[in-house]
Structure 1
Amino acid sequence: MRQQARRWHRDNPAFMEEALQSMDRCQDAAERDLARRWHTEALDIGFWTKKDVVQYPLACLHAGGSLITVPSFCQYLDQFTEADKDIMQKLLDTAPLHYWTYLKNKTAEGRWTP
């Protein structure tokens, strides 16, 4: 089921784009290109639910870079298995405000900068 969901998302990136556009994101070509790249990255990481596949690119757009380059995000992902879903929602619900405030620093040049 998860592999079929990933295949569907790969074949239908417009779903993610339309969801982001409904949140007033991806209004220009440059942001759409970035969202597509992070959409592919979300699928490569192993995300498969609609919510995760939309929220990962949204979080990357917010951060101005790939979340997979952030060590604390990688450590967060380590606690989940292939069976888990809505992983990004759990992060949104549990990450403290300062995590999101300094996320741009964490993704800058793919390394942590305090």
Structure 2
Amino acid sequence: MSGGSSGEWYVLVETHDKWGENWRLRDKVHVEGGQERALSHAEELARSYARPGHGLQVFRTSEPRWLVEITEEVWSDSSDEPFTVVNYVRLSVAELVHATEAAPAERPEPKKGMLRRALGRD
């Protein structure tokens, strides 16, 4: 892809790390049909995180953004009582406004050294 505006729409999916301190981009879902279709797809995707036996809350935090809370009750063998595991997913609708591709990697020059000379690789 060359530089400049492309006008392509995406749903960006972020998840938090194990401790909930850092968010990481996990997926970029390309959506055909413009911004309205991307907004609709993002909300559908947010609701799709429901799994049998899991709790699900979907929050629209702003027009192009959702926070999904997924809960699961599990039994702790060590404390002999249930506890709740909570995970979060953040979805945002974004327009790709600029992109350039990385230059292809080039093979580095062979390293010169005593071992390489001894093995006849110079």
Q: Taking CA–CA contacts closer than 8 Å with sequence separation of 6 or more, which of the two structures ends up with the larger relative contact order? A: 2
TM range (shorter): under 0.3
Greater per-residue helix proportion: 1
In our comparison, the structure showing a higher alpha carbon Rg is 2
- Structure 2 length as normaliser, TM-score? 0.23
| Structure with higher strand content | 2
The TM-score with structure 1 as length reference comes to 0.24
